[in-house]
Every structure is written in structure tokens, then in C-alpha cells.
Amino acid sequence: MSWMERVKKNVFPVSNEKYNIRKALEEWIYEGNMFDVEVAEETCELCDQPNIRYQFEIVNSQNDNSLLIGSECITRFKISVIDEAGNKLSYEDAKKKVGKDRSRLVTEAKEKSVLNALVKLASTDNEFDIENFIKYFKERKAFTPKQLALLVWRLEKAKIDFNMSHFKLTIKRNREKEQLLELEDWKLRCIWDCLSTSQRQFVLREKNK
């Protein structure tokens, strides 16, 4: 079945228009409902593309049916996009909103993965004071050099699966910059993968002074 045939097979049964695919697609709108199902196992209900993790809900303006689809399909099929105030966006603005919504989901997913790792660590490591870390992370979405070194070391020791790149470092404050430069080499190596490019450049520049 061709790509367009698949879209027709999926759209006509839930649209009022049953023959003209362009008209049928015009019945659908995206209003900002989106979900992270956490594993990429869903299928796009519009084009049948597998391995969808971030689902975007489109609803039929004439019969209230809904479909959960991949974000690319919203722009690909020029599905109408409505902003919070209920205005229909231009194609370019629609594309921007979908991109922004998607990156919000991705950011939230990364934050969730950090919190999950902390919770797992707390359940195996009695000395780990999770409350402080969670509070700090929720406020700043990142950790200080000392916090990060401790976390990475403890997570590895407890053999907890975690994604290093989701753990961000903050050195906005001067004392955090100093803290980073004062870390022992082995601790710095421990957290190196958490550093952004500019943070790495900062360390290399300062250490070579």
C-alpha cells in the first residue's frame, strides 16, 4: 500500500468527507495536546509510521473524532494548528509551534529521566539525601559541580542506568565556576560528559592559564 493509500485508509473512516483526501484532512486540527508515551512503540494513526514516542492529538472539527499522530505529519499534511487563543496559525507559525511543543516534550522527558534515576538511587543508597537534589534540580534544571560529581559517582557505584547527557551542569554563579575548577581530576573526568561545549572550553582555558 502506498503512503497516500495508508493515509486515506486511516482518515476516511473517521472524517465526514469520504472521497477527497485534501478536504478530509481540512477537517482536522491540532490544538496543542501532546503526550510522551516514554517508549518509542506507538504507530502514527495517520500514516502508519512505527516507533512513535511523542504523540500529537489531532481532532476532527466536525465529528470530534481524534487521532494520535507523529509531529512531522502535522506539517506534512498541513493540518490546521490553533494557538491558545483559538486563532488558526499560518503554515510557518504552525510549523514553529509544533517544533516548540515537541522540544518541550523532549525536555520534560529528559528531566523525568533524571528524576527517575534519583529516585532509584535513593531506594538503594541510604546515605543519599534525595530531597535536596530534587528540590535543587526542579528549581535550576541542573546541578552544581559538587552535586554532579557526587551523583555520577553514586549512580555508577549503585549500577543504576542513567543518561549522562540528561544531567546538566550549572556554573552561572562564580562560586560554581570556582567549584568546577577545584574538582579533583578524577571527579572532573567523571562528570565530563555532562558538560556543554562552552563549559568544557571554560575548563580547558582556565586550567591552561
> Which residues of the shown chain bind Zn ion in the complex (CB under 5 A)?
44, 46-47, 49, 70, 73
Report the residue number, 59 or 164, with the smaller CB distance to Zn ion: 59
What minimum distance in Å lies between the beta carbon of 6 and Zn ion? 9
What minimum distance in Å lies between the beta carbon of 65 and Zn ion? 16
What minimum distance in Å lies between the beta carbon of 14 and Zn ion? 15
Rounded to whole angstroms, the Cα distance separating 26 from 13 reads: 15
**Closest residue to Zn ion, Cβ-based?**
44
3-state secondary structure the chain: CCHHHHHHHHHHHHCCCCCCHHHHHHCEEEEEEEEECCCCCECCCCCCCCCECEEEEEEECCCCCEEEECHHHHHHCCCEEECCCCCECCHHHHHHHHHHHHHHHHHHHHHHHHHHHHHHHHHHCCCCCHHHHHHHHHHHCCECHHHHHHHHHHHHHCCCCCCHHHCCECCCCHHHHHHHHHCCHHHHHHHHHHCCHHHHHHHHHHHCC
